Amino acid sequence: MKTVFKSVALASLVALAACGGKGDDALADNVEANADNVADALDAQADNAVNEATEDMLENQADSVRENGEAAADAIDDADVNAAQVKTS
């Protein structure tokens, strides 16, 4: 579970760095898209799970990652971030 959240956090930082001079809508979209990519990877792992318990756990993690990505995107939009002034280091 920690690995999933670390992946989402890293994806968020990558999205932030890639954002450049775009506004907060693009930044929020990038964060949400990265969370979706992580969740899609979890869903793919669930499809290949050897038992139902593992499949259910991975699907639940994917749902959680999507929800967290959506919440982070909403928070970015609500904060009215000027992405051109945000620094990652």
State residue 27's pLDDT score.
85
- Give the pTM: 0.66
* 30, part of any domain: yes
DSSP 8-state secondary structure symbol assigned to residue 9: H
* 88, part of any domain: no
Q: How many domains does the chain have?
A: 1
State residue 20's pLDDT score.
46
CA distance 40 to 24: 24
* 54, part of any domain: yes
* 87, part of any domain: no
Confidence of residue 79 (pLDDT cuts 50, 70, 90): confident
* 53, part of any domain: yes
Confidence of residue 25 (pLDDT cuts 50, 70, 90): confident
Domain of 40, in residue numbers: 2-15+25-82
